[in-house]
Amino acid sequence: MNRTKDTARFARIADKVRANEALDADDGLFLYTYPDLLAVGALANERREALHGDKTFFNVNFHINPTNVCVADCKFCSFARLEPDAPAAYTMSIDEVKQKLLDRMDQPVTEIHIVNGLHHHLPLDYYKDCLRELKALRPDIHLKAYTAVEIHYFAEKYGMSYTQVLSELKEAGLDSMPGGGAEIFAERARRKLCRGKADADEWLAVHRAAHELGIRTNCTMLYGTVETLEERIDHMLRLRDLQAETGGFQTFIPLAFHADNNSLQKLPPPTGVDNLRTYAVSRLMLHNIAHIKAYWIMIGIKTAQISLSFGVDDLDGTVQEEKIYHMAGAETPQALSRVDLVRLIREAGRVAVERDTLYNERWTDDGEALDGIRIDASLPYSTQGQGVRLNVL
Amino acid sequence: MTTETTPSQPSPTTLRVQAVSFLNARPLIHTLLDPKHAPRHADGTPMFEVVEALPSRCADALAAGECDLALVPVGAYADHPEWEVVPGVGIGCRGAVDTVVVCSRWPIEEVERVYLDGASRSSILLLKVLLHEAGLSPELVPVDHGVGEGLVADASTDGSGPKVAALIIGDAAFGVAGRFEHVWDLGTKWFERTGLPMVFAFWAARPGVLTPAHVTALQKARDRSLGKYAEAIAKHYRDELLASGEPGAAQALSEQAYATYLRKTIRYGLETQQREGLVEYLDRAREAELIDIPGLHPEDPVHIHFAGEAAPEVLVAARRRRSSRSPLDVDAILARAAAGERIDLAEGIYLYENAELMALGEAADQRRAQLHPEPIVTYIIDRNVNYTNYCVTRCKFCNFYVPPTDKQGRGYVLSKEQLAKKFRETEALGGIQILLQGGLNPELGLDYYEDLFRWTKQNFTLKLHALSPTEIIHIAQIEELSVEEVLRRLQAAGMDSLPGGGAEILDDEIRARISPFKNSTAEWLEVMRAAHGLGMRSSATMVFGFQETAEHILMHLERLRSLQDETGGFTAFITWPFQADGTRLKLRDDTSAFRYLRVQAVARLYLDNIDNIQVSWPTLGPEIGEIALRFGANDFGSVMIEENVVSTAGAHFMMTAKEIESHIRLAGFEPQRRTMQYGRVEAS
Ligand code: SF4
Ligand code: SF4
């Protein structure tokens, strides 16, 4: 590569970004391969700060997966069971679903995230009842439910249009939709990964229908499997085009593939630099999608913290009120306490904001002492932690 | 206690001081009493006004607020852990002290009663500790000062009365040893049991009254008196004694004997090893339930608050620069540093406090590319072998050590068979070096290491990257040899290079809080200087997360950089955040990956004369290791075949050479195996 030429090209891309112009596929690929990772990161950070300043969002939700029985057999999936009677296969009764919420009635949860496998013979009413009963218990709680893959499956199975399915679910209490099931759109990769589930056009059509009904959605990309960099960029561009049409996406969530317990175990997982690069490129390519979210459970809290300087403005993962984890631990915990999450955001020089599903701000970190500890990002480093010197030694 | 050392305003007040008049205290107060040379503030006010008193009186006066500073027996500290102690100055011994002795006409083991001859609290406590540990429990009977010796001398030996002894201290004890068949010199006894020096008294002050200027003045007063006036003090003491007509006068020793006592027997320092002995003493007293220190966790060693010393000149200059008018400019400093120009301390601090992480990273990455133009990242295959986990130092941040007194069988010293197995495995895995480190085990002397190194060199092809400065200092202290001599002999036995461990934060105030008995900053640097002088290379480390400030971090780097200017002996620098899990140090500080990248990037820019920066993946994980290669590092460290000190505190990353290579590639570099000296090695 010619260094001077590259630098000039990077500068042209930076100009486009600053003018909020759409980048093209070549720009995206160039950013993915430009040797100066931090320059790409800094540009994404500039964009992130222009959109959100130092705000770093999180929300407090919990997940319900009413069934893990699924007719599809996606290669990367360690959740689904093919048959209802397979070992470890389960399907909850509506009462069991309700119990999940009843167990948490006193917790300040603002959202329930519900996704399922594609069950062989559950009726649509089952899915509607789930929503209705949960709403009845806590009308204030936001129901973010069912991926486009499920909606597509329902539509085919019950002979309905996407709009019909979605309207009925909305009527039953559906507030918004998660972004799952997008995986990677490119046909070649998709065939290898998840033959038989909603294809790219179908996935996008479901979201289009949802947006038209006023249902906001998220979108995802699974990376680090068999796809090429071109295919990642292509994925982003297809999302961007739909967004230009409808404006209904809130957040893009790149999902690093993890070879836990599935048939792709031999692939090396995407690692630090690839993860950061993907966040940064997403932030730059998806100029019309407001938020970029990182799942710290997948990439580890350390990389997640660094990602806040590479375009990410939203952190996701289980947040608990009580203290369960010490920052110095090496392994990624299953959940973070609110205090630890806010602290890690502060340490990165950002301001934590608790949001609801639609990004209404519920609480903003005012720098008050957490757990007796004050880490104030606006102060120079030399004064950090001084408030606690006396009582710890 | 705060670590922010504000430039000291010389206080014009005079500290009220009480001190003992014993001969051994005179070198500390001689200069303070000298009308011409007594230290003064800038405006001419005397810094100290000294009154002489008995040891126990001094402590009471300090406790009652009748004085601000006193020369107190260390035993009194147990009741007043709030006192601030003057660093570097004390009255102690290493082995025989001559003036704290138990004398008897019977073997001490048989004695039924010990007269305590007006003794100080410290010496009584020391006697009790030693009796307790020897399983003895004679009756202890206080008597007036001066009568103890007579009571023992006159006791009947026909079996009609009890077998008696007397504890005699201070000037009255001179010569006693020669007049009785059975004598315990408590200094000797203590040394035999612990291998440590004993400290009997130190300067303690009410909290908050000492300024760095006072500390320096007291240290200098000691140096001056001892350097020039030991003989004069000895003569003066003898003349006084003879003129006094006291009973002891008849037994006065020669001037020369007193001078030798001052110069050789008594040790007037309060450095790392003395501190260790001091705390060991208080700890054993605590263990024997002879004292109780309020508010101290039973497992924690006694903590002694030392007063702060004066800031180094370079830091004072940097502070001046930072408060001066001409503002510093982050972009300009970054541009200069990225181009390899030297930035000064004020600029380094400014960068650390103000530069954006990404901007720092880019500058560090540029500087890395300038130093290492080929897109290559190196790593080494070596094995970390911790030959022993016994350690007397008890650093609060360490979860690896086992105290030598441990009775649960948790301690070990690896046998030659165990070592041979590890070494053979290392060779089989393509390893070329052993990183040999361990605790400070008082049982292992220089010959142990010499033998171990020779044996290694005879039987294996491995390089020995062995013994951090902390261990070298420990060996020098137990052998009473100079650091240089120890290094020379170890080098001759086969040592190739030194790891840079034990540096933590090179700042004595922080060190006093987290590892009070570990080597001081100056001692650490001195070992490195000596090792480099002998042609051995070493690495350098820094561990952050001990609530240090930007100044502390940059001063650490500054100390490394200026030593490197002098010797050029550092091959690489490695930094990582403190891993608190399972240690006794309950600190809250920022130990995040974010801060790690920031610290490393600043280090790459500041250490313009150290070639290599190594990532610390064992503490941060391979992913951050990979990212750190874009924040100034050019080396992926080692395929850690084992890493006990970190892994007991919570980090558990293990990687093979293949995985390391894969991470290096993912960061956009070509992997290359290397030696400790950063020479390249072809992978077989
Ligand atoms: S459709 Fe969803 S649940 Fe079913 S196998 Fe694929 S990823 Fe798993
Ligand atoms: S860090 Fe080293 S010197 Fe300190 S206690 Fe642990 S082994 Fe001993």
Which CATH number does the domain housing residue B402 bear? 3.20.20.70
Single residue among B170, B194, B218 that ends a domain in this structure? B194
pLDDT at B281 over 80: yes
- Which range has the worst mean pLDDT, A2-16, A230-244, B157-171, B529-543? B157-171
Contacts of A154 (CB under 8 A, 6+ apart): A124, A127, A160, A165
Q: Are the CB atoms for B125 and B291 separated by under 8 Å?
A: yes
Residues of A in contact with B653 (CB under 8 A): 330
Q: Do residues B516 and B544 share a domain?
A: yes
Whether residue B166 sits in one domain with residue B219? no
Q: Is residue B326 part of a domain?
A: no
Highest mean pLDDT out of A27-36, A183-192, B386-395, B586-595: A27-36
- Report the percent of chain A where pLDDT is more than 90: 62
Domain match, B224 and B372 both: no
Cα B320 off chain centre by: 30
- Residues B541, B515, single domain; the answer is yes
pLDDT attached to residue A18: 95
- List the single residue in B4, B595, B627 with the smallest CB-CB distance to A272: B627
pLDDT at B684 over 50: no
- Asked whether residue B299 is domain-assigned, the answer is no
Inter-chain contact B622–A373, Cβ cutoff 8 Å?
Answer: no
Residues 76-135 of A with CB under 8 A from B: none
* Residues B436 and B541 occupy one common structural domain: yes
Same domain for B81 and B147, yes or no, is no
Considering only residues B212 and B565, tell me which one the structure prediction assigns the higher pLDDT: B565
Average pLDDT score over residue span A296-314: 91
pLDDT at A353 over 60: yes
How far is residue B398 from each of residues B219, B273, B275, B402, B439, measured CA to CA in Å? 31, 18, 18, 10, 10
Residues of A within 8 A of B650 (CB-CB) are 328-330
Question: What per-residue confidence (pLDDT) applies to B641?
Answer: 62
| Whole-angstrom distance, CA of residue B99 vs CA of residue A66 | 83
Cβ contacts of A381 on chain B, cutoff 8 Å: 352-353, 549-550
More confident residue, B539 or B425: B539
State the residue range of the domain holding B581: 362-681
Same domain, residue pair B85 and B122: no
pLDDT digits (tens, 9 = 90+) for A337-350: 788 888 889 889 89
User: Which is nearest to A276 in space by CA: B264, B43, B358, B657?
Assistant: B358
How many domains, chain B? 3
Residue B409, pLDDT > 90, answer: no
Question: Each residue of B34-68: pLDDT tens digit?
Answer: 888 899 988 888 999 998 887 778 888 999 989 99
In tens, the pLDDT along B88-127 reads 899 999 889 888 999 998 998 899 999 988 667 788 889 9
Residue nearest to atom 1 of ligand 1 (CA): A72
Give me the phi and psi of A315, to 5 degrees please. -115, 135
At B8 the pLDDT is 45
Distances in whole angstroms, Cα of residue B560 to Cα of each of B541, B553, B557: 9, 11, 5
- Are the beta carbons of B593 and A306 separated by less than 8 Å? yes
B627 CB within 8 Å of a chain A CB: yes
Question: What are the start-end ranges of the E strands in B151-274?
Answer: 164-169, 182-185, 198-205, 266-267
pLDDT of residue A272: 85
Task: Write the residue in B547, B592, B630 that is nearest to A389 by C-beta.
Answer: B547
* C-beta of residue B629 within 8 angstroms of C-beta of residue B377: yes
**Is B58 within any annotated ligand binding site?**
no
Clarify whether residues B582 and B506 are in a common domain: yes
CATH number, domain containing residue B249 = 3.40.190.10
Chain B CB contacts of A303 below 8 Å: 593, 623-624, 627
Segment B436-462 mean pLDDT: 94
The pTM (predicted TM-score) of the whole model is 0.79
Does B349 reside within a domain? no
Fold topology of A49-390: TIM Barrel (3.20.20)
Q: For residue A154, report the distance from its CA to the centre of ligand 1, in Å.
A: 14
- For residues B516-521, give the mean pLDDT: 86
Question: Would you place residue A332 in the very low, low, confident or very high pLDDT band (cuts 50, 70, 90)?
Answer: low
d(CA A270, CA A134): 37
Within B207-271, residue ranges assigned H as helices are 212-244, 255-260
Q: Chain B contact for A44, CB < 8 A?
A: no
Ligand nearest to the CA of B398: 2
Tokens of residue B585, six digits: 């140090």
List the single range of B272-286, B290-304, B333-347, B604-618 with lowest mean pLDDT.
B290-304
**Measured distance CA(B400)–CA(B582) in Å, rounded:** 10
Q: Rounded to the nearest whole angstrom, what is the distance from the C-alpha of residue A299 to the centroid of ligand 1?
A: 21
pLDDT for res B675:
82
Higher pLDDT, B44 or A162: A162
Determine contact: A391 vs chain B, CB below 8 A: no
Tokens found for residue B127: 């006697």
- What's the confidence (pLDDT) of residue B651? 43
CB A129 within 8 A of CB A96: no
Mean pLDDT, residues A324-332: 35
- B520 and B465 in a common domain: yes
Q: Please check whether residue B106 lies inside any domain of the structure.
A: yes
For residue B108, being part of any structural domain is answered with: yes
Q: Whose CA is nearest to atom 2 of ligand 2?
A: B439
Pick A373 or B405 by higher pLDDT: B405
- Higher pLDDT residue, A178 or A390? A178
More confident: B456 or B146: B456
A183 is in an annotated binding site: yes
Specify the pLDDT at position B3. 40
Contact B579 A274 (CB under 8 A): no
Q: What is the mean pLDDT of residues B325-352?
A: 91
Looking at residue A140, its amino acid is D
Question: With 0-12 CB in 10 A as exposed, 13-18 as middle and 19+ as buried, what is B156?
Answer: exposed
**pLDDT for B680 beyond 80:** no
Q: Are B204 and B28 in contact (CB under 8 A)?
A: no
Top pLDDT among B406 and A179 is at A179
Q: Examine the domain organization and report whether B552 and B623 are in the same domain.
A: yes
Tokens standing for residue B320: 């001046």
The alpha carbon of B648 and the centre of ligand 2 are apart by a number of angstroms equal to: 13
Using a pLDDT cut of 90, give the percent of chain B over it.
Answer: 45
Q: Which of A38, A331, A344 sits opposite B361 (nearest CB)?
A: A38
Span of A1-10, B6-15, B45-54, B586-595 with lowest mean pLDDT: B6-15
**Contact criterion met (CB below 8 Å) for A393 and B5:** no
Q: What is the DSSP letter of B402?
A: B
Q: How confident is the model at residue B316 (pLDDT cuts 50, 70, 90)?
A: confident
Averaged pLDDT, B321-327:
71
Please indicate, yes or no, whether residues B253 and B137 belong to a single structural domain of this protein: no
Closest ligand, as measured to the CA of A80? 1
CB within 8 A of A329, min separation 6: which ones? B581, B650
Share of chain B above pLDDT 70, in %: 93
What pLDDT was estimated at residue A268?
60
Please state, in angstroms and rounded to a whole number, the distance separating the CA atoms of residues B171 and B26: 12
In angstroms, the separation between the Cα of residue B14 and the nearest Cα of chain A is 28
Residue B624 has its nearest CB partner, among A39, A272, A331, at A272
pLDDT tens digits along A249-274 = 999 999 988 765 455 555 566 778 99
Interior angle at CA B572, CA B571 and CA B574, nearest 5: 155
Kindly report the protein residue whose alpha carbon is nearest to atom 6 of ligand 2: B398
Say yes or no for a CB contact (<8 Å) between A390 and B588: no
Nearest to B279 by CA among B267, B291, B266: B291
The C-alpha atoms of residue A384 and residue A379 are separated, in whole angstroms, by 7
More confident residue, A335 or A320: A335
Are the Cβ atoms of B621 and A330 closer than 8 angstroms? Answer: yes
Q: Tell me the pLDDT of chain B averaged across its residues.
A: 87
In angstroms, what is the span from residue B583 Cα to ligand 2's centroid?
A: 12
CB atoms within 10 A of CB A220: 22
> For position B159, what pLDDT does the model report?
73
Residue of higher predicted confidence among A358 and B4: A358
Kindly list the distances between the CA atom of residue B650 and the CA atoms of A327, B437, B583, in Å, as whole numbers in the listed order. 11, 19, 10
Span of A308-322, B1-15, B506-520 with lowest mean pLDDT: B1-15
What residues line ligand 2, using a CB cutoff of 6 Å? B 391, 393-395, 398, 400-401, 439-440, 470, 515, 518
Residue B560 phi/psi, 5-degree rounding, is -65, -45
Look up residue A8 and give its amino acid.
A
The yes-or-no verdict on residue B187 having pLDDT over 50 is: yes
**Ligand at shortest distance from the CA of A72:** 1
Contact B577 A328 (CB under 8 A): yes
Q: How many residues does chain A have?
A: 393
R_g (Cα) of chain B, nearest Å: 28
Give the mean pLDDT of chain A.
85
Whether residue B214 contacts residue B15, with contact meaning beta carbons closer than 8 Å, is answered with: yes
Render pLDDT for A107-160 as a digit per residue (tens, 0 to 9). Answer: 888 999 999 999 988 999 999 999 999 999 999 999 999 999 999 999 999 999
Tell me which residue has tokens 């100029």.
A287
**pLDDT given at position B640:** 62
β-partners of residue B391 are none
Confidence of residue B671 (pLDDT cuts 50, 70, 90): very high
Residue window 3-42, chain B: list those with CB within 8 Å of chain A.
3-4
Residue A331 has pLDDT above 60, yes or no: no
d(CA A393, CA B304): 11
Q: Is residue B623 situated within a structural domain?
A: yes
Residue B37 lies in a domain: yes
Across residues B344-364, what is the average pLDDT? 93
Which tens digits make up the pLDDT trace of A95-109?
999 999 998 888 888
Given a cut of 80, is residue A175 above it in pLDDT? yes
Question: How much is the average pLDDT of A277-283?
Answer: 97
Which of B2, B353, B357 has the CB atom closest to A386's CB atom?
Answer: B2
Range among A231-245, B286-300, B541-555 rated most confident:
A231-245
